[in-house]
Structure 1
Amino acid sequence: MTHDPALEAHEHAEHAEEAAHEKDPFISRVSITIAILAVLAATVGSLETVEASGAINLASEAVLNQDKATDVWGEYQADSLKRHLYGIAADGGGPKAAQYQSTAKEQSAKQAELRKKAQEDEAERDKLLAASRVHERHHHWLTAAATLLEIGIALCTVAIVTRRRTFWLSSVGLGVLGVAIGGAAYLL
């Protein structure tokens, strides 16, 4: 079964509406609190999903950049071997020694370009991983916020059943704390 915050918010709002028909002012206040907490929980839950997706997407892009860098470093190593072989051949003398020396220099120039490209890919990987970690941090804070809001909804239900103000006030406190933590996700 999937977790759908929007559907849950709608269901809680319906339950709150049903309870409000009892014409008890306390039940009406608690019902309104349930509806508000449900909307906040759905909103925070949606933001949580967006942040989790952002973290995953950026981490995937980072992996692709690492793959590119690895490929380029492999080519760099192959060219290094070629350069050494041409250098050895040039040192051996013979009619093609000058050509081998020239090819060894070309390999050196090509290696410099490859090194630069691999380092750029690695820098991009690091940038993407850093951005992914930011999204992941937001996600963790939003998870905590959504959890507090959902516990607040549960306490409202207990308040309706027991008709105890303490449970309702606790749910309001958890709702305020959940909203604060949700906001902190983007401020810290």
Structure 2
Amino acid sequence: MSESPTEQFEHAEHAEHAAHSGDSFLSTVSVTIAILAVVAATVGSFETLESGQAISDKNESVLIQNKTADTWAFFQANSIKKNMFDIAAAAGGPKADGYLAKSKEYEAQQSGARKEAETLEHERDAKLEDSMRHEHRHHTLTVGVTLIHVAIAVATISIIMRGRRWPWHASMILGAIGTLIAGYAYLM
């Protein structure tokens, strides 16, 4: 991502000066800088999107975990109630059949709560995996966009040094590596 909101204007100014020099190589370098700036902006946008999605997925997993904990608490409460009615039914007496029926009712609720909690656990785990994937992409894109920004700076050195070719060649290599790394983020 850009360090300064005016960074692109600085690169455009260097390119404009190069265009007025009449040197076709410097014009080529200027076009290279413009292309690299567009690629950097695009990769930077993807980096931001991946970061936001990682945070969003992690937040969703926390919310699902809260629902899971509540559901397991409901399961445990029903388990305690079921056991109390089992004990009361085992003691016998005129209400033993009612206690046994109530125990079965809590057992059914307990079974439903277990299934719901296990489903929520799977959803939580899936969201955490999604978050880790987005976070990994974000880190990979950060490396890629950083190399592209360095490539822009190195290409600018070629203009400042009045047409030296080695900085431009180095910038092309760095830009290509940065772009490949950024593309690799979506192949993983």
| Aligned 8 A contact 1:156 1:167 in 2 | yes
Match of 1:61 in 2: 60
CA 1:5–1:71 in 2, change beyond 3 Å: closer, same or farther?
A: farther
Which stretch of structure 1 is more off in the superposition, 124-133 or 32-41?
A: 124-133
CA–CA distance in 1 between the matches of 2:130 and 2:102? 42
CA 1:5–1:55 in 2, change beyond 3 Å: closer, same or farther?
A: farther
| Aligned 8 A contact 1:145 1:181 in 2 | yes
Between the two proteins, what is the percent identity of the paired residues? Answer: 49
Q: TM-score, normalised by structure 1?
A: 0.91
Matches within 5 A, 1:14-25: 14-25=13-24
Deviation at 1:53, TM superposition (A): 1.0
CA 1:185–1:90 in 2, change beyond 3 Å: closer, same or farther?
A: same
Which stretch of structure 1 is more off in the superposition, 91-100 or 37-46?
A: 91-100
Match of 1:91 in 2: 90
CA–CA distance in 1 between the matches of 2:160 and 2:6? 23
Deviation at 1:7, TM superposition (A): 5.5
CA RMSD between the two structures? 1.9
CA 1:7–1:99 in 2, change beyond 3 Å: closer, same or farther?
A: farther
Unaligned residue ranges in structure 1 (runs of 5+): none
Deviation at 1:54, TM superposition (A): 1.2
CA–CA distance in 1 between the matches of 2:67 and 2:172? 51
Q: TM-score, normalised by structure 2?
A: 0.91
The C-alpha deviation readout for 1:6-55, integer Å capped at 9, x for no partner, is 86445423432233222222322221111111111001000111111111
| Aligned 8 A contact 1:80 1:111 in 2 | yes
CA–CA distance in 2 between the matches of 1:102 and 1:162? 90
Deviation at 1:83, TM superposition (A): 0.8
2:172 maps to a residue whose letter is V
| Aligned 8 A contact 1:69 1:118 in 2 | yes
Unaligned residue ranges in structure 2 (runs of 5+): none
The C-alpha deviation readout for 1:51-106, integer Å capped at 9, x for no partner, is 11111111111111111111000111111111111111111222211111111111
Match of 1:176 in 2: 176
| Aligned 8 A contact 1:5 1:45 in 2 | no
CA 1:128–1:70 in 2, change beyond 3 Å: closer, same or farther?
A: same
